[in-house]
Amino acid sequence: MFKLALRSLIDKKLRFALTTLVVVIGVMFVVGSFTLTDSLRSTFAGLAQDIARGADLTVRVDQTFGGDFERATVPEAVAEQVAGVEGVDLARPELAALNVFIVDRDGEPIRPPGPPALGFSFNPGSFFITEGQQPVAPGEFATDTVTAANNDLRIGETYQINGPLDVEPFELVGLFNFGSPDSHTGLGQTMAAFELDEAQRFFGMEDGYQAVGVLVSAGADVSEVQARLEAELGDDYRVITQEVDAAEQEEDFNQVVDIFNTVLLVFAFIAVFVSAFIINNTFQIIIGQRVREIGLWRAIGATPAQVSRSVITESAIVGALSTVIGIGLGLVLALGLRAILEVIGFPLPPGPLTLQPRTVVLALLVGLGVTMVSSIAPAIRARKISPVAALSQDFQLGATGLRRRLITGGAVLAAGVVSLAAGMTAGLDTTPTFVLLGVGAVLAFVGMNTVSPVFARPAASALGRPAKAFFGMPGRLGRDNASRNPRRTASTAGALLIGLALMGLAAVVGESVKKTVDNILDNAVEADYFIQSAATGFGPPPGFPARVADEVEALPEVESVMRIQWAFSGLSVEGEPRDIVAADMTLADDHFDPQVSSGDMAATDPLTSLALHSDSAESLGVGVGDTVEATFPDNQTETLTVVAVYEDAAIYGNWLIDGALWDSHFNRNDLAFASARIAGLSGAAGEAEQAALLQKSRAAVNEVIDRYPTVKVENQAEFRQTQESQLTAIIRVIQVLIGLSFVIALIGIINTLSLSVFERIHEIGLLRSVGMTRKQLRRSIYWEALIVAVFGGLLGVAVGTVFGVATALALPESFVQVVAVPWLDLVVFVVISAVAGLLAAILPAIRAGRMNILDAIAHE
Amino acid sequence: MTSSPTQALAVAAQAVAASKIYGSGDTEVRALDAIDVAFEQGRFTAIMGPSGSGKSTLMHCMAGLDSVTSGQVIIGDTDLTTLSEKDLTLLRRDNVGFVFQAYNLVPTLTAIENITLPMDLAGSKGDTEWVDEVVGATGLADRVKHRPNELSGGQQQRVAVARALAGKPQIIFADEPTGNVDSNTAAEILGFMRSAVDQMGQTIVMVTHDPVAASYADRVVFLVDGKIVDELLEPTPGTIRDHMTQLGA
Ligand SMILES: Nc1ncnc2c1ncn2[C@@H]1O[C@H](COP(=O)(O)OP(=O)(O)OP(=O)(O)O)[C@@H](O)[C@H]1O
Ligand SMILES: [Mg+2]
């Protein structure tokens, strides 16, 4: 039987190649994503060790939640205390700040496209000067060798540097390698280092340090010194060893890698899932074609078990071979992704790719598993083929009855929908939510696929009606062939359906978010100018110097400026970290309209005030006048009074405090955003006067902004435009990524078409013999593909729209308030899938046209 | 129209020194060996000969389904060896009918759609009266809306002959059209072909192994090793059998 299986594979090289290709793609994605992220992890582990190497021990404030840059500082007195502990040879205060941009000779800020722009106090433990000297005086700085080389920064020249507070000129006095003396360890970040006191002043962190690095005296025992320091400093501080420091850094990096890994795995999962459809389809067709052959085996004495074993063996060979190829190509994919990362600004240090045993096991599970599972149903069918089948001409494999399909498929679909709904609404933790959503999506698709053959025949013949009406016999035959085997049409379309459904979902959710933003911009925006970082790209924009806001505020044309800062996990209430926004509470209701439903933001003492979105207020069970115990990342707890509850979370999120309260608990001084109102605008009579005022004020504001190369200002119309185009870009990127599954679906269509052409060889020979031209034959195959693809497209878009609307409804109101369906996009998707179908048909059509007529006729 | 063997009739199709060679060197097979044969208009010719003698090859080459290695094949005034692939296809569609031994019909099309298939491919309506007449002659007028799998083998073959007739081709080739059916059914198909020749003036060339089938023809041509070795006019099963035994001996 093994011989037979092998023989049938060799005989049908093309079919084998196409099936293999599909599995290879699935395996490739899995291997590629794991290999890349494993390699990233080991790279980051190295980087973390380099970062930690500068000190034997590090002293930090103990932090229970919040980010590194939100941690409370170590006061100067404590640093001195550390220096005095026995066994401490050197206590070196360390300082770091985000968003410190060096401006190059041409006035362009050097902006790493993804990684941060960092400022430091010069730390001889991990910054190794290669040229020049370390900064020792005010007005001096050093930068890393890579940033200098990439931007042609030269020692002795003076550069403007954008700090958290202001832009100031500094002279470049030295270049250094970070992490090791011989080579710079970097992931694309830019680094500017200053003398310690100068850094404190420039960063606006005069009252302390982020950490104190400790070098122990020669001969002293590190853990003894650690114990002494812990005893001396008490519970408010942590004293950590180099290893722990490295491990913690690594963990921070790994959180990023994990997100990346998850994204890649989602694509791998989609790829595998789509592949499974195609593989299953292929085996079904192959068995269908081999009915006579199998009948013959049975007639000459092969047992049913032997027959199904041969089918399984065939799939095992396909699975094993494609797993091996897939692993190879997965490594290539990882290299490719690394190259892409480098192009978009995350250069990774070159290193070997890490292929872990876990990855190989997973690849086997996917490659072998999917093929084997996909071939079980066909194997069972094959087993049922009777010897008599060998004799009859058009024996059809007993397809599942359509009614039974409707019932079981409907049940699976319903289960999927319930699971999706539960995932979206139950408000569980991330992991169970994703599991519910994933399982729900899979069930829904499988259910759809089970049910869809019921519609396939009527849909295909309806879709094919114009083909028949306007394109004569070729159109007619294309339509007939598309509706000939509804199960096949449905599952070929199914591969397309998945990609399209996901694209449709993204489109609907995206459009809803866009419309929501539109609405907010229409209704909530009151200010006239918006100031933020000029950086473009994905993710939250970096901060900008606070000085900009002061200067704009000082303009006579400007009535008021509101400064906004924010932090993820910036506040802990009832033991849970909350994202917060800080703004001038007196202006908050004036520059934007968050739809305050009770209370008044401007009413009370800003240092004890808190404004809440109604959702948060409800879940805490508080209202205006009630108090809330809030802990900040610097470990201090304050009793805040709720002064207002608002309904629109789009601008201020769920938790809003005053800038003054922020300043007393956070070390970050740069601004995330600022808005300005023009004086006298509301009092201005007539549009002409308003326009004149706006023009005059714009000129004044521009004059300030022009001095700060990292900052930009927008009026209402521009602001709106930017918001929209950013959203559109994000949605497009997501859709393009999902569109990758199209490529797989394309192979699926090629596969199915070639197989069904192969199945009809005799018929094609016949048509050619009675005078069908090659062109007509090709055209009939194009029609068939087109009908199948449009069927898949319509179904996918319909499913995607339903899921999209459901998702949009389930999303929190701060995200989506209006559910909108982008009809044009959906039509475009169907057109895209039609084009994909046509592309897929080219090869099979050409092959069919080239077939020798007599050979074809002789073929049964 | 009746024909007398002495009267010279217009030629519908002919092969001139046509050879077909498969393979080369040791494996060379000369399926047609410089064959000269002409098929006159309005006559029913049967081709007989032992298995492997080149009958099918001759049919295929004459119908433009295959090409000869040397020599000429002429249908009407057209030399097939000069035609492009596309023109050959159009010639098959418009001027030649072909009936295979079995599976002549496209399974997704009904009987009547199969019959009008060449015309539909040409995008023309054809001569509908003529099509009706042909359908009437098949005796299947009430079953034309059926699909091939709902028809018996004999009915399917009659539909196939009807398709060949429907386009009024210059000539119809049939390669063992009764090879797959019992003798009663064969008689139905052969009777239909005979009447097509007699009443519609069709020209038909048919390959068969069966002397009874061949006796429906006006003329029997005997083929051995790719050459015409004998010929018989006004055949009867008896005379055919005699010739066959002579040849076999
Ligand atoms: N495609 C081919 N390649 C090689 N040889 C071929 C091919 N087709 C036919 N032949 C050979 O040409 C010769 C004539 O074949 P053909 O099919 O014309 O015979 P036939 O008279 O129709 O036989 P039968 O009565 O068995 O149908 C045979 O020897 C055959 O083996
Ligand atoms: Mg033959």
Per-residue model confidence as pLDDT tens digits over A339-369: 887 776 666 666 677 888 888 998 998 888 8
Contact: A854, B85; criterion CB under 8 Å:
no
- Between chain A and chain B, the number of residue pairs with CB atoms below 8 A apart is 68
User: Does B54 sit in the ligand 1 pocket, CB within 6 Å?
Assistant: yes
User: Does B208 sit in the ligand 1 pocket, CB within 6 Å?
Assistant: no
Please compute the mean of the pLDDT values over residues A443-457 and round it to a whole number: 81
How far lies A744's CA from each of A748, A789, A826, in Å?
6, 13, 20
**Top mutation candidate among B29, B33, B48 for ligand 1, by most atoms within 8 Å of CB:** B29
Please give the pLDDT value at position A161: 93
Q: Would you say A97 and A546 are in contact if contact means Cβ atoms under 8 Å apart?
A: no
In terms of CA atoms, which chain A residue is nearest residue B166? A770
User: Does B56 sit in the ligand 1 pocket, CB within 6 Å?
Assistant: yes
For the CA of B52, the nearest ligand: 1
Instruction: For chain A, give the percent of residues with pLDDT over 70.
Output: 92
- The closest alpha carbon to A135, from A172, A169, A163, belongs to A172
**pLDDT higher than threshold 60 for residue A499:** yes
Interface test with A, best of B94, B117, B163, B168 (most A CBs within 10 A): B117
What is the distance in A from the centroid of ligand 2 to the CA of B243?
Answer: 20
Hey, is the C-beta of A766 within 8 angstroms of any chain B C-beta?
A: yes
How far apart (Å, rounded) are the C-alpha atoms in residues B70 and B21? 9
Identify the burial level of A11 via C-beta atoms within 10 angstroms of its C-beta, where 0-12 means exposed, 13-18 middle and 19 or more buried.
exposed
**What does A823-843 look like in DSSP terms, one character per residue?**
HHHHHHHHHHHHHHHHHHHHH
Q: Evaluate whether ipTM surpasses 0.90.
A: no
Q: Would you say A325 and A14 are in contact if contact means Cβ atoms under 8 Å apart?
A: no
How far lies A818's CA from each of A240, A799, A805, in Å?
50, 20, 10
Record the pTM: 0.73
How far apart (Å, rounded) are the C-alpha atoms in residues A323 and A24? 6
Interface test with B, best of A461, A468, A473 (most B CBs within 10 A): A473
Please give the pLDDT value at position A392: 56
How far apart (Å, rounded) are the C-alpha atoms in residues A321 and A315? 10
Enter the tokens of residue B17: 């020194």
Contact: B86, A773; criterion CB under 8 Å:
yes
Does residue A855 or residue A299 have the better pLDDT? A855
How far apart (Å, rounded) are the C-alpha atoms in residues A259 and B69? 68
Burial letters A558-597, b for 16+ CB under 10 A, else e: bbbbbbbbbbeebbbbeeebbebbbbbbebbbbbbbbbbe
Does residue A449 or residue A60 have the better pLDDT? A60
Confidence class for position B249, pLDDT limits 50, 70, 90:
very low
Contact: B100, A768; criterion CB under 8 Å:
no
Domain spanning B11-105+171-248, CATH class: alpha beta
Q: Are strands A558-573 and A627-631 parallel, antiparallel or unpaired?
A: antiparallel
What is the distance in A from the centroid of ligand 2 to the CA of B60?
Answer: 10
**pLDDT higher than threshold 80 for residue A157:** yes
Report CA A688 to chain centroid distance, whole Å: 46
Enter the tokens of residue A225: 């010194």
What is the distance in A from the centroid of ligand 1 to the CA of A858?
Answer: 12
What is the distance in A from the centroid of ligand 2 to the CA of B175?
Answer: 7
Q: Which atom of ligand 1 is nearest to the CA of A854?
A: 1
DSSP state of A672: S
How far apart (Å, rounded) are the C-alpha atoms in residues A359 and A330? 10
In terms of CA atoms, which chain B residue is nearest residue A474? B121
**pLDDT higher than threshold 50 for residue B2:** no
Please give the pLDDT value at position B14: 93
Confidence class for position A260, pLDDT limits 50, 70, 90:
confident
Location of structure tokens 């007639």: A299
Residue type present at position A263 = V
What is the distance in A from the centroid of ligand 1 to the CA of B226?
Answer: 10
Q: What is the mean pLDDT of chain A?
A: 83
User: Does B51 sit in the ligand 1 pocket, CB within 6 Å?
Assistant: yes
**pLDDT tens for each residue of A656-711:** 999 999 988 888 788 989 999 988 777 766 778 888 888 888 999 999 998 888 88
**Measured between CB atoms, which of A393, A394, A769 is closest to B92?**
A769
Q: Would you say A420 and A436 are in contact if contact means Cβ atoms under 8 Å apart?
A: yes
**pLDDT tens for each residue of B101-157:** 887 888 888 999 899 888 888 888 778 888 888 888 888 889 889 988 888 888 898
User: Does B103 sit in the ligand 1 pocket, CB within 6 Å?
Assistant: no
Burial letters A798-821, b for 16+ CB under 10 A, else e: bbbbbbbbbbbeebeebebbebbb
The DSSP bridge partners found for residue A564 are A673
Helix (H) or strand (E) holding B231: strand B227-233
Enter the tokens of residue A331: 């490594």
Helix axes A291-299, A242-289, angle to 10 degrees: 70
What is the distance in A from the centroid of ligand 1 to the CA of B183?
Answer: 25
The phi, psi pair for A642, rounded to 5°, reads: -75, 120
For the CA of B209, the nearest ligand: 1
Burial letters A362-386, b for 16+ CB under 10 A, else e: bbbebbbbbbbebbeebbebbbebe
Contact: A771, B86; criterion CB under 8 Å:
no
User: Does B5 sit in the ligand 1 pocket, CB within 6 Å?
Assistant: no
Note which residues in 90-109 of chain B have CB less than 8 A from chain A.
90, 92-94, 98, 100, 103-109
**pLDDT tens for each residue of A183-194:** 887 777 889 999
Q: Which residues of A touch B104 (CB under 8 A)?
A: 766
